[in-house]
Amino acid sequence: MRFRFVGIAGLVVLIASVAALAASPALKPFERGTWQSVLRGHAGRPVLVHFWGVTCGPCKVELPLLGQFAKDHPDVDVVTVSADLVPNLPAATQSMLDKAGLSSTENFIFNDGFVERLRFEIDPAWQGDIPRTMLISREGTVTTIEGSAEIADLEKWSAQQRSKH
């Protein structure tokens, strides 16, 4: 009896901790190959990938607007990538995501000191300016918005995605 109780209590604790992780998923490391796996993982669905960083002024303004967009558009997979150069700051990154209402989206943080190589995998022409948003349609067409995105443009794109299906 006693053993069984301990076992169940342990199970409850584990399930609770996993549930907590699921509710606020940890930042995932963005490394070599991550970009391709993100593309594969969301293939066939409209995806919005937002690159930002904690030291970028315009990003601070845009992030909460993106949080609201994600909430209003459950049909769009929103993915964020903190693309500041390392030493990157997971705690500050998570805190800004939480405040912007982006706790439950799929959130990455650059985790390779060779940042040129990471950026080259995503877009060889990208020199690191942030914010930057890539809209990927169901068919895989990529639309890149350099600088802060206008939410009206995101709305328009998302409506186009819906109308196709």
Question: Footprint of another protein on this chain (CB under 8 A)?
Answer: 7, 10-11, 14-15, 17-18, 21, 26-29, 53-59, 85-88, 90, 92, 109, 111-117, 120, 124-132, 146-148
Our CB check for another protein shows the closer of 133 and 158 to be 133
CA 30 – CA 34 distance, rounded (Å): 6
C-alpha torsion sign, points 34, 35, 38, 39:
negative
Cβ proximity of 135 and 142 under 8 Å: yes
CA 83 – CA 110 distance, rounded (Å): 5
Our CB check for another protein shows the closer of 36 and 160 to be 36
State the minimum distance, in angstroms, from the CB of residue 60 to another protein: 9
State the minimum distance, in angstroms, from the CB of residue 28 to another protein: 6
Cβ proximity of 56 and 80 under 8 Å: no
State the minimum distance, in angstroms, from the CB of residue 114 to another protein: 5
Our CB check for another protein shows the closer of 13 and 159 to be 13
State the minimum distance, in angstroms, from the CB of residue 19 to another protein: 10
Our CB check for another protein shows the closer of 21 and 159 to be 21
CA 38 – CA 51 distance, rounded (Å): 13
CA 116 – CA 36 distance, rounded (Å): 16
Cβ proximity of 25 and 102 under 8 Å: no
State the minimum distance, in angstroms, from the CB of residue 64 to another protein: 15
- Among 99, 54, 106, which Cα is nearest to 79's? 106
Our CB check for another protein shows the closer of 90 and 101 to be 90
